[in-house]
Amino acid sequence: MADTVLDPERNRLYQRAEDLHPSHWERLSAREPEEAARATGARWTDGAFRLPLLGRELVVRPDHRTVTAGSGEGVGYQRALVAVSYLAGALDVPVAGRWVAFRDLPGGGAFFRGPHGLPTHRLEAAYGSRPGRLLEAAAAVGGTADPGADAAAVVPALPKVPVRVLLWARTEEFGGSASLLTDPRAHLHLALDGLWALANVLVADLVRGAGA
């Protein structure tokens, strides 16, 4: 397993869903469940939200303040943060159906830099010499191949927050490069820090998914 620097799911301070600050759960509990389900594309049944996230269903129980995978095992902190924040705040507006860089979202130019830079270097290191393997990893998280670059895939990360992954292969003259794009309305469903967490979890899944 990757260490805490490489794998955001194993951060030393915040590792488990139970480490979420109570304010996240309070925001979700203050929202009518049926309205939240309608706005987010989740299902509300038996006191729990069932939310598709990166190719698998998560079960979010506000009363118990738990987030688990459909099979019952716990999930990491950033995955839980994304799920609860999305359920608590996503608006009832459709995706725009276009692609923009994360930095082109409102406020994104100042946010997605330095410590909040997107971890595309991990994709470059893992798949720069074998771009076809990226498509295999994307399929494992619900993605489909898409035209563009040397390898490209569209991943329905959340029902209203798709992510397009682009990879250019490494050559003798140039190093590989990767890019992440999202819907221009993504910030209406997740705050920028939540989108950063989503990008971290997506990249971690992609790199881990192909055994890279």
- One DSSP character per residue, 167-196 reads EE---SSS--EEEEEE-TTGGGTS-HHHHH
Residue 209: pLDDT above 80?
no
Three-state DSSP class for residue 67: strand
Quote the CA–CA distance of 84 and 11 in Å, as a whole number.
18
Dump pLDDT digits (tens) for 119-158: 999 999 999 999 999 999 999 999 999 998 999 999 999 9
66-69 and 100-101 beta bridge pairing: unpaired
* pLDDT confidence of residue 210: 56
Q: What angle do CA 32, 98, 180 make, to 5 degrees?
A: 90
Backbone φ and ψ for 16, nearest 5 degrees, come out as: -120, 165
Which pLDDT score, from 0 to 100, does residue 172 have?
A: 78
Closest-CA residue to 160 (of 81, 90, 62, 84): 90
- The three-class DSSP label of residue 4 is coil
CA distance 152 to 44: 33
Beta strand 48-53 with 43-45 is antiparallel
Give the HSE-up count for residue 173: Cα atoms under 13 Å, Cβ half-sphere: 0
φ, ψ of residue 72 to 5 degrees: the values are 105, -10
Per-residue model confidence (pLDDT) at position 175: 76
Average pLDDT across the chain, whole number: 91
DSSP assigned state of 52: E
Rounded to whole angstroms, the Cα distance separating 86 from 194 reads: 8
Who wins on pLDDT, 64 or 10? 64
pLDDT in tens, 21-35: 999 999 999 999 999
Domain residue ranges of the chain, discontinuous segments joined by +? 8-89, 100-209
Rounded CA-CA distance 196/111 in Å is: 9
43 SS3 class: strand
